[in-house]
Structure 1
Amino acid sequence: MARTKLPPTVRQRRLGAELRRLREDVELSATRAGELFGATQSRISNIEAGGYAVSADRVRALARLYECTDEELIEALTGMTGGRTRGWWEEYREILPASMLDLAELEHHASYMRIVSVFHMPGVLQTTEHASALISDALPALALHEVEHRVSFRVKRQAVLYGERPTPLTAIVHEAALRMGFGGPDVARAQLEYLIKMSELENVTVKVVPFGVGIFPMSGQGIVYCGGEVPRLDTVQLDSDHGSEFLDTQPQLARYRNVLDRMEACALQPVESRDMIHHIAQDI
């Protein structure tokens, strides 16, 4: 029986997209690029779609063909070659939506993360009980085994915050998220206490945006901003009712950096934020 080819990962797609952008910057068609590179137009298109693995040497050769002189970017792109990363999330393939696996892969490779959460706790800072309460109430309703898979997946994402090189994380959490009370008083209180505990890690900063501090520069959807090897390779993930959306054009990245900066400017400092979380937990 023939083995089904797996779809390209978000990292493979991003490498291809950046190579396409470099080609378009010098106004080369895929056909002409193939002629100059000694390949077919379809091979260039497959590379740009992330469907064909390329070596570091080929990436450097394509970058030279496209007149790219940004050595830092080129080296970052060569670091994205080599096929699939066999991360822990691969065990969930064909069990969970591909966009969830893409987010875990992005977080795994991120040089830093910035998160804005307005109505929910950041996914990487949720307790098992809090995550279970949220996922169990999803619409359409999920079967018990589906809930268990999604909860375990969400908790495993926290691995990026530990280990030899824990990822720096800044979580900007609105007061509304602190007061939602998902799962009932005991679960909500334990979640707030866990948020305080996580905020005390050296690599984790939690800042609370209190009610009444000004105009919202966003619609309220969750934002995860993952830093790339170089700023051009940053990625934004947005939560919506229809699933995840990944953005990576330079105008989009600039827009969401501005949103994050404005939200963080409205937020309390870490010590004040912990005090506020503590007081809300006591009042539950």
Structure 2
Amino acid sequence: MRAIPTGRQLRFGTELRKLRESAGLSATQAGQLVGAQQSQISNMEAGRVGVSAERVRALACHYKCADRALTEALATMTSQRHRGWWEEYRDLLPAALLDLAEVEHHAAHLRVSVTVHIPGLLQTIDHARELFRQVIPELSPPDIEHRVSYRIKRQAVLFRDPPTPYEVVVHEAALRMQFGGPAMARAQLHHMLDMSERDHVTLRVLPFTAGSFPGSGQSIFYSNGPVPQLDTVHLDQSHGPVFLDAEAQLHMYRRLLDRMEARALPPAKSRDVIHQIAREL
């Protein structure tokens, strides 16, 4: 049985289709240019079949794509069709969560802003477990542990060699949430402080005194691809993750993150705020 395409495979196909449509060609016409059937082009663009790097370059050439960086990024994606550690959760978690791990795994850079929750990649095991205990509808104990282990394994991107650069803006409100009680909250803050000392982790606090700011009503997760066209925005909704990749959406969320970072405290002062909140617990 043919495997269901992952989110990354679907994204590859979407970008290939965009190039074809920009060239004003039908799938039939594109197939004729490279000696393929219309159905083969359609399957490529649906992420259902693998494509060689050579064919990607040939299609890009016929599509008159002048962006060599984008062409090479798409060609590289053809050799990254293997499925990673997240596949062990395929029958245990929603597919969108697996797509999130895949996006993070391949990201060149990660940017996050959160208002109420601690970012998943900076959560302790106890903090994550407490969050999943509050999910509605309630999760069974095994399901809670599956989600906890999955969340912790996602954090590997911050510990591999080389690690993925990670920039976080966290609102003071999230730092003062005492999930699991004062002791657990204090341990979570200390963990964030430890992580913020790593060269590839930049943590900024948006204090209450900053007042209103753009994007205040949502958490934003922005994954930079090898080229800007392959960036992805992930919004955490109550019904599950939502992924955005339209050019206008990417531009808007980059601007939101830029403005939030500009309003936030610099890293050193941010650590001072976190230390102070931890002492108050």
> Does TM, scored on the shorter chain, surpass 0.5?
yes
2:194 matched to which residue of 1?
Answer: 197
Report deviation, 1:31.
Answer: 2.5
Q: Secondary structure at the match of 1:120?
A: coil
In structure 2, distance between residues paired with 1:146 and 1:6: 24
> What is the total number of aligned residue pairs between the two structures?
281
2:87 to 74, 85, 90: 90
Q: Which of 45, 51, 54 is the equivalent residue of 2:51?
A: 54
Q: Distance in 1 between matches of 2:249 and 2:61?
A: 27
Structure 1 residue 42: deviation in Å? 2.1
Please say if residues 9 and 84 of structure 1, whose CA atoms lie closer than 8 Å, have aligned partners that are also in contact. Answer: no
CA RMSD in angstroms comes to 1.2
CA distance in 2, matches of 1:187, 1:165: 30
Matched, 1:36 2:33: yes
* CA contact 2:131–2:179 (8 Å) conserved in 1: yes
Shift of 1:229: 0.8
Q: Which residue in 1 is equivalent to 2:122? A: 125
Which range moves more in the overlay, 218-227 or 129-138? 218-227
Amino acid paired to 1:6: A
TM-score normalized with structure 1 length? 0.96
Q: 2:261 aligns with which of 252, 261, 264?
A: 264
How far did 1:279 drift?
0.6
Is 1:142–2:139 an aligned residue pair?
yes
Aligned residue runs from structure 1 range 65-104, under 5 A:
65-82=62-79, 84-104=81-101
Superimposed CA distance per residue, residues 39-80 of structure 1 (whole angstroms, 9 cap, x where no aligned partner): 222221111111111010110111011111211111111110
Letter in 1 for 2:106: H
Residue pair 1:116, 1:222 contacting (<8 A) in 2 also: yes
The match for 2:239 is 242
Aligned residue for 2:113, secondary structure, equals: strand
The residue that corresponds to 2:229 in the other structure is 232
CA distance in 1, matches of 2:3, 2:90: 9
For residues 165 and 83 of structure 1, do their structure 2 counterparts lie closer, same or farther at Cα, with a shift above 3 Å needed?
closer
Give ranges in structure 2 of 5+ residues lacking alignment. none
2-structure distance, mates of 1:221, 1:151 = 23
Q: Paired residue for 1:64, among 61, 64, 67? A: 61
Query: Which deviates more from structure 2 when the two are superposed, residues 268-277 or residues 220-229?
Result: 220-229
Give the secondary structure class of the aligned counterpart of 1:212: helix
Which of residues 190, 205, 208 is equivalent to 2:205? 208
Are 1:222 and 2:219 matched, yes or no? Answer: yes
d(CA) in 2 for partners of 1:274, 1:85: 39
Asked if the contact 1:89–1:153 (Cα under 8 Å) also holds between the matched residues in 2, the reply is yes
Asked whether the 8 Å contact 1:119–1:220 carries over to 2, the reply is no
Residue 177 of structure 2 corresponds to residue 180 of structure 1: yes
3-state SS of 2:72 partner: helix
What is the rounded CA distance, in whole Å, between the counterparts of 1:174 and 1:11 in structure 2? 30
SS at match of 1:86: coil
- Alpha-carbon offset, residue 220 of structure 1: 2.4
List alignment gaps of at least 5 residues for structure 1.
none
Q: Where does residue 13 of structure 1 map in the other structure? A: 10
Paired residue type of 2:17: R
Report Cα offsets for 1:190-245 as digits up to 9, x if no partner: 10111101000110010000113133312522211111111111111110011111
Distance 2:68 2:81 in 1: 24
Q: Tell me the amino acid that sits aligned with residue 258 of structure 1.
A: R
Q: Is the 8 A contact 2:115 2:218 kept in 1?
A: yes
Moved more, 38-47 or 71-80: 38-47
CA contact (8 A) 1:235 1:248 kept: yes
**TM-score of the two chains, using structure 2 as the length reference:** 0.97
Q: CA–CA distance in 1 between the matches of 2:179 and 2:217?
A: 18
